[in-house]
Amino acid sequence: SVHLELRQKEKLAVIGQMAAGIGHEIRNPLSALKGFTQLQQERSPNSNDFYPIMIQEIDRINSIVNDLMYLGKPKEIKFDKANIEEIIAYTLSITQQQAERQGVTIETKIAGPLPPLDCDSLQLKQVFINLIKNAIESMPNGGRITINVRVIEGKKMNISIQDEGCGIDEDSVPNLGEPFYTTKTDGTGLGLMVSNQIVQDHQGEITIKSSVGKGTLVNVTVPISHNY
Ligand code: ADP
Ligand code: MG
C-alpha cells in the first residue's frame, strides 16, 4: 500500500506558478475559440463535420488548464455539508459515457445511511472524476469498477474504488503523484497529483494498492467533520 505524499514541494510551487500564469492567458482565447466553433457547428447543415471533435478537444485543453491552475493556486477550500452519495452520482454522470464506450460497468455500494460530509464538494467531485477515469482507462477491454462508500472509525468517510485493470508495477509506484508522470499516450500525469492535493487539503489521505494484471484499489479517506 502506497501513501501518496507531496514530494518536492518547491518544484511544484515553481511549476504551479508558471502554469497558473500561462493557464490564465490560455483560458480567454480558448473560450472564444470554443464559442466560435459552436457557432460554426450551428451554421453547418452537414452532420459529418468535425466540430464535435474540435469542441471535445477544446474541452480537454480546458480541463488540463484547470488542473494546472489548481497546482499554482490551491484554491481556498470551502467547507460545506454535502451528501457524498450526490457527489458520487454526479461523478458517475460525467464518466458514464467513457465507461460505456469501453465496456466498463460501475457498481456503487453505499453502506448507508451516511452522515453529511464536511467538504468542498466541487473539489471532491474533481477527485472522484480523476480516480474513476483512471480506473476506466486501466481497462481498455472492459471490466467492472466497484465503488464502496462507508464510515470508518466512527468519524471518517472512506470511499474505495476498485478496478480490474492493468495494475501498477512496483517500479512505477514512486512516480505516482509526481507532476506529469503518465504511462498513457494521451495522459497529462496531473490527475493523481491534483487529487492528492485536494484530499490533503481536506486533512485526508489517498492510498493505493495494486497488483499487475489484476487491478487497483484506491482508497480515499477524509474526516467527516472539521472541528477547528
Ligand atoms: P494520467 O491519467 O493523465 O496518466 P494520473 O496522475 O491520473 O495521470 O495517473 C498517473 C499514472 O498512474 C497513470 O498514467 C497510470 O500509469 C497510473 N495509474 C493511476 N491510476 C491507475 C489505475 N487505476 N490503474 C492503473 N494505473 C493507474
Ligand atoms: Mg488520470
Residue of the CA atom closest to atom 19 of ligand 1: 134
Per-residue pLDDT tens over the stretch 100-152:
999 999 999 999 799 999 999 989 999 999 999 999 999 999 999 999 999 99
Residue of the CA atom closest to atom 21 of ligand 1: 134
Of the candidates 222, 7, 8, 4, the one whose C-alpha atom is nearest the C-alpha of residue 123 is 222
Per-residue pLDDT tens over the stretch 69-90:
776 666 678 899 999 999 999 9
Give 202 Cα–ligand 2 centroid separation in angstroms. 20
Question: Which protein residues have a CB closer than 5 Å to ligand 2 (ion)?
Answer: 134, 191
Residue of the CA atom closest to atom 11 of ligand 1: 182
| Strand ranges, E, within 35-191 | 80-82, 104-110, 117-119, 143-152, 156-162
